[in-house]
Amino acid sequence: MICQGGGVERDAVVKWVAEYERAWRQEDVEAVADLFAANAAYRVSPYEPSAVGHDAIKALWLEDAGRRFSMSASVVAVEGDVAVVRVDVVYETPHVEEYKDVWILRFDSDGRVADYEEWAYWPGKSYVAPRT
């Protein structure tokens, strides 16, 4: 998973994202330990505090339990131990919600994500702060 020079390989990122989707879709919270480092930081927004550690990430995942969704992802860039992934998600239940995300993933030397940061956008929401 990790290149000889210490960076993550693009194919390894593709496999990690596929396993993330499988685990998320099947609500397999036990896979969190295989995907994330023990003290991984997981942010659903760059402005939100991180969920830290496996138990916190599992709890965050369970907030979306029972929702059907479709997902497509493509690796945009890999530099050293950091990967950027473009992700499109459409939740089908309990109501339709569409998101276009960018994930910034920093991998540890074991090929697990040590830092996950999500930048999510959705239709009809402003991408700029309101002027006061």
Q: How far is residue 20's CA from residue 113's CA, in Å, rounded to a whole number?
A: 11
| Residue listed under structure tokens 């496996």 | 54
Beta strands in 25-94 (DSSP E): 36-43, 51-52, 69-79, 82-91
Q: What is the pLDDT of residues 15-63, one digit of tens each?
A: 999 999 999 999 999 999 999 999 999 999 999 999 999 999 999 999 9
pLDDT of residue 52: 98
- Stretch 5-9: mean pLDDT: 83
Confidence band of 65 (pLDDT split at 50, 70, 90) = confident
pLDDT of residue 2: 60
Q: Is the pLDDT of residue 70 over 80?
A: yes
Q: Where are the domains of the chain?
A: 10-121
Task: Specify the pTM.
Answer: 0.90
pLDDT of residue 125: 77
Q: What is the pLDDT of residues 123-132, one digit of tens each?
A: 887 776 676 6
Look up residue 60 and give its DSSP letter: H
Q: Residue 29 has which token pair? A: 């919270």
Q: Residue 115 has which token pair? A: 């830092």
Residue 103, strand partner residues: 85, 118
CATH of domain 10-121: 3.10.450.50
Q: Residue 83 has which token pair? A: 């990967």
